[in-house]
Structure 1
Amino acid sequence: MARYHIETYGCASNRGESQQIETALRDAGHYPVDGPGAADVAIMNSCTVVEKTERNMLRRAKELESETADLIVTGCMALAQAEEFREEGVDAQILHWDDVPAAVTNGECPTPGPGTEPVLDGVVGILPIARGCLSNCSYCITKFATGRVDSPPVEENLEKARALVHAGAKELRITGQDTGVYGWDEGERKLPELLDRICAEIGGDFRVRLGMANPGGVHGIRDELADVFARHDELYNFIHLPVQSGSDTVLEDMRRQHRVDKFVEIVETFDDRLDHWTLSTDFIVGFPTETPDDHAQSMALFREVRPEKANVTRFSKRPGTDAADMKGLGGQVKKDRSKEMSALQREVTAEAYESMIGDTAEVIAVREGTGDSMKCRDSAYRQIIVRDAHSRGIEPGDTLAVEVTSHQTVYAFGDPV
């Protein structure tokens, strides 16, 4: 659980986005602090109206970078003029509003609110399928809050999913601290069965996104799980597999339940089954025992698997964890390694979105964006923004075909066809 500081600039729309970010952060167990100096991460929700505003945003971003361990910049200027921050030398993650909550971690499991009750948010249905995890990572404080995995029966989760779809959900988000170990508390590996039955037995036009699944849990079901993805168009071809390091030595020190070769085998299995899919992963840079060679191995792994989406987090000590007692690396070392990997991340992501230009894709309109835009998702969960949405009669939940016309590194723009 992280300490965060958030600053919001600009219009009422930006203030609304910040409110949603804060709600998600608090629901996940993170908590606000008074000022960036006391925070693990500072979030700047930026504005861009006139040149003076842009100069102020750049100045404030530089100040925040020097005052906090980690900086995330989101909002209009970040998304429309990300290169301005990079040219100014600002060392920050540039993220879409929707991606900020997931990035505010220390490589820890997500921490949803109490219980496993589903939530309908617009046309997005959120279904926690279990609570807790089986991991014992040396850096993670979440395990103290969530305990061991507790999995409701498949039938119970299936009925919750059905209720969400019948209530209007067009996108089902399957969540949990570690969805890959769903059912392990009962000695069974139930995730493939649950996903298969949701797709096969619930009627209606909807898509399903699988939330975070640690490689240690997925490896043993990789063939069965990939077959389910290949069999059902309802499943977004997207999976979040947090690897955390490309060094087996560091993974051992982290007490992760996988090694690099197991992670790569999962990726190769999905490559074999799916024509195209999106790999999302997490890396922690600057873990106390990470050597320059360990970092080089992480960079090499990133280049090998080329995840289109990645959360790059600088290691931050959490009270009560074993890693908190380790002698840490210097802040500049962590900044330098983070900057190098984040630059590679932007290169890989931009390459993926650049390759989409000129393609036609079927998308689901998921949420209203800024102004008169609509946030849509294609079959691989890539974000495509459609402008002038309301004037075109596009509403959340609609399915439409779009031609991809351009991109802004972390998302694309598309026109209905």
Structure 2
Amino acid sequence: MARYHIETYGCTSNRGESREIERRLRDAGHYRVDGPDDADVAILNTCTVVEKTERNMLRRAEELSEETADLFITGCMALAQGEEFAQADIDGRVLHWDEVPEAVTNGECPTTTPDAEPILDGVVGILPIARGCMSDCSYCITKHATGKIDSPPIEDNVAKARALIHAGAKEIRITGQDTGVYGWDEGERKLHRLLEEICEIDGDFRVRVGMANPKGVHGIREELADVFAEYDELYDFLHAPVQSGSNDVLGDMRRQHQVEEYLEVVETFDEALDYWTLSTDFIVGFPTETDHDHDQSMALLRETRPEKINVTRFSKRPGTDAADMKGLGGTIKKERSKEMSAVKRDIVGEAYAAMVGETREDVLVVEEGTADSVKCRDSAYRQIIVQNASEHGIEPGDFVDLEITAHETMYAFGTPV
């Protein structure tokens, strides 16, 4: 778990983005502290109205970078003039606000609180299916809070999903430290069985499966891929964090999988699904990562071409075994992160560019965006923005057919057909 400090400057839009950042961090078990001195990470949501404001943002970023271990900079100035922070030699990462929550997690599992219950947020139902994991990663502090996997019975989770749907949920987000090992404590991995039963519930809804480590998925990859192929209710989306393309580094991380197992998971889903989204995570700059190890990660990224990629620079968490390792310099981590992030943008941008001119059917409108827009998800959980939503008469919870008209790096634009 990370302690975070967040500061927001500027307009209502920035404040809304900061609220969403905080919501996601809380969902992952992180918590806010009053000041940067007590924080593991600081988040600066910037404004860029006038030159004086820009000078203030640079000064505040410099102060925060000296007061916390990690600084994440987002907002208008960060995205429009990100080079200003680099030129000022500020040790902070410039990110789109939507990338901040994943970066803060440092590759760790999300943390579900002991009394976690389903939450309905607009038309999105959040369903924690279990607590804990079966991993013992050397860099992760989450395991100290969660312990080993504790899986409630399938019928209990199905009942909670049914209640969310009856309450108005159109998207069910299956969450947990590692959804792929659900049931392992009872001697049987049964995520695929749980998904089958949830998809059989009466109603018009979609289901997104949360993070599942490659090792847990590998043992049920064929069964799981078959369920994805059978049920339209399931987004064809899999988040399997590989973390490194080097088996040596994975061993030092004490990840339970090897690269070959991750590749076998990807190949199985490729064979079962014509159109799907692979999401994965990479930690760059782990203490034992050599130049060759990093090159292997870059090669794996280019080979598998995931459409959603979380790139995290390694930072030490107190009480973990990796915290005792001699770390790499900040410059090395920054350069490797920059190189991987550039390839990430190319891969994701190409995926969204390929959608332009196509039509996506039964796209779910998930939530309101900014300036009369809405955010939608297609069958592979790719994000599509519809502008002037009120003119089209669409709102969260609707299913619409969209013609893809344009794209940015991380999303596409669509017009109702």
TM-score by length of 1: 0.92
Residue 72 to residue 359, structure 1, CA distance change in 2 (3 Å): farther
* Structure 1 position 217 matched with structure 2 position 216: yes
Pair 1:285-2:301 in alignment: no
Structure 1 residue 168, shift from structure 2 partner: 0.5
Structure 1 unmatched ranges of 5 or more: none
Secondary structure of the corresponding residue to residue 164 of structure 2: helix
Distance in structure 1 (CA, Å) of the matches to 2:261 and 2:352 = 28
Describe the shift of the 1:341–1:320 C-alpha distance in structure 2 as closer, same or farther (beyond 3 A). Answer: same
Q: Are the structure 2 counterparts of residues 118 and 379 from structure 1 closer, same or farther at C-alpha, using a change threshold of 3 Å?
A: same
**Unaligned 5+ runs, structure 2:** none
Give the 5 Å matches for 1:3-402: 3-33=3-33, 39-47=39-47, 50=49, 52=51, 55=54, 59=58, 63=62, 67=66, 69-75=69-75, 82=79, 84-85=81-82, 89=86, 92-97=93-98, 99-199=99-199, 201-362=200-361, 363-402=363-402
Relative to structure 1, the CA distance from residue 408 to residue 327 in structure 2 (aligned partners, 3 Å threshold; closer, same or farther) is: same
Residues 1:121 and 1:139: Cα distance change in structure 2 (over 3 Å) = same
CA distance in 1, matches of 2:34, 2:313: 21
Give the direction of change, closer, same or farther, for the CA distance of 1:173–1:231 in structure 2 (3 Å limit): same
Change (3 A) 1:357 1:96: farther
Cα distance in 2, alignment partners of residues 70 and 273 from structure 1: 40
Cα pair distance change 1:279/1:70, threshold 3 Å: farther
Q: Is this contact kept in 1: 2:122–2:169, CA < 8 A?
A: yes
Taking a change above 3 Å as real, the CA distance of residues 61 and 360 of structure 1, as seen in their structure-2 partners, is: farther
Counterparts of 1:194 and 1:77 in 2: how far apart (Å)? 45
- CA gap of 1:347–1:257, structure 2 versus 1, over 3 A, is same
In the alignment, the residues of structure 2 paired with residue 213 and residue 115 of structure 1 have an alpha-carbon distance, to the nearest angstrom, of 21
Of 114-123 and 285-294, deviating more is: 114-123
Say if 1:93 and 1:342, in contact at 8 Å, map to a contact too.
Answer: no
CA distance in 1, matches of 2:146, 2:371: 39
For residue 28 of structure 1, report the CA deviation from its aligned partner: 2.7
1:160 Cα deviation after fit: 0.8
Residues 355 and 212 of structure 1: is their aligned pair in 2 closer, same or farther, counting only changes over 3 Å? same
* Structure-1 separation of matches of 2:336 and 2:178: 27
Q: Deviations over 1:308-343 (max 9, x none)?
A: 111111111111111111111111111111111111
DSSP-derived class of the 1:218 partner: helix
Question: Is contact 2:5–2:42 with CA below 8 Å preserved after alignment?
Answer: yes
RMSD value, Cα: 2.3
Q: Is contact 1:350–1:409 with CA below 8 Å preserved after alignment? A: yes
Once the two structures are aligned, what percentage of the paired residues are identical?
70
The Cα of 1:280 is off from its aligned counterpart by 0.8
Mapped partners of 1:71, 1:409: distance in 2: 23
Compared CA separation, residues 39 and 88, structure 1 to 2 (3 A): same
Write out the 4+ residue segments of structure 1 that deviate beyond 6 Å after TM superposition. Answer: none
Contact kept? 1:373, 1:389, Cα under 8 Å: yes
Task: Give me the whole-angstrom Cα distance separating, in 1, the residues matched to 2:12 and 2:80.
Answer: 25
Equivalent residue number for residue 409 of structure 1: 409
Q: 2: distance between equivalents of 1:307 and 1:260?
A: 15
Deviation at 1:156, TM superposition (A): 1.0
1:312 match: secondary structure? strand
CA distance in 1 between counterparts of 2:282 and 2:289 reads 12
* Cα distance in structure 2, aligned partners of 1:57 and 1:204: 51
Other structure's SS at 1:361 match: strand
- Is the contact made by 2:400 and 2:416 (CA closer than 8 Å) also made in structure 1? yes
Amino acid at match of 1:309: K
Give the partner amino acid of 2:360.
A
- Please say which of residues 341-350 and 60-69 is displaced more in the overlay: 60-69
Please give the alpha-carbon distance, in whole angstroms, between the structure 1 residues aligned to 2:324 and 2:34: 25
**SS class of match (1:279):** strand
| CA offset digits 1:350-375 (Å, max 9, x no partner) | 11111111111131111111121101
Q: Contact (CA 8 Å) 2:46, 2:57: kept in 1 or not?
A: no
Secondary structure, counterpart of 2:242 in structure 1: coil
